[in-house]
Amino acid sequence: MGRWRGLVDAISEADGALSFGEPAFDAEGLVAWLLDRQIPSGRSAGLFRPSPEDLADRRLPTGERLKTQLATTYIFSEEAARLLHVLRPSDPSVADGGQRAAARLAETCFAVQHCTTGECAASFIGYVRFLSGTGGAVALPDITWRLKTLSEHRDGAGRWKRFPTHYTLLVLSKIPLAAAAEELEYARPAWASRGRVAPTEEPYASRRARLAAALRART
């Protein structure tokens, strides 16, 4: 079902259309495809199955590489659940899938124990993106203290220790809170450039440049 190579491909296509006016996509097909990838039972119930391509490449939508299958599954599950909510917030099947994803993610160490060790840092900031996209006003206090945790990891050079820079910038750019704006201002040196990467790194170079342009337009 569906023509997408993997979750990161589908998520990036939808975000490009929704946020940056890129060509329209098959929203109905994408919703059905994502729901089909949600794990129905077992220890991972509620999460979403990354494709073989996702697991082989293990890249975030902004291009940073992940080392482990566990982090790949968690972050892509956060992204998939968020996207389903954005696309079909009133659809009962989407609401049910979102509740199951939220319940499973709420059991993780980065949700319960505020863990940012190793690749839990990437899952932690991905969880912020999930909360900001699905939780509404109820999630704002939880998001705010997580952004304070992020600020405690500043490296003094516009980035954060352990956290993937461009993905973190993407997450912050979508959060309408003063705490997020403060982190973006701190990170100005990291996004003030065009966000170039090597030509072989497309489509990530274009996504990073597009993100940097959007951040510059906010100032």
To the nearest whole number, what is the mean pLDDT of the chain? 88
> What pLDDT does 124 receive?
97
Q: Is the pLDDT of residue 127 over 80?
A: yes
User: How does residue 71 score in pLDDT terms, banded at 50, 70 and 90?
Assistant: very high
Nearest to 215 by CA among 156, 174, 178, 177: 174
Read off the pTM: 0.91
CB 82 within 8 A of CB 61: no
Q: Which range (14-18, 50-54, 63-67, 113-117) has the least confidence?
A: 14-18
d(CA 4, CA 157): 37
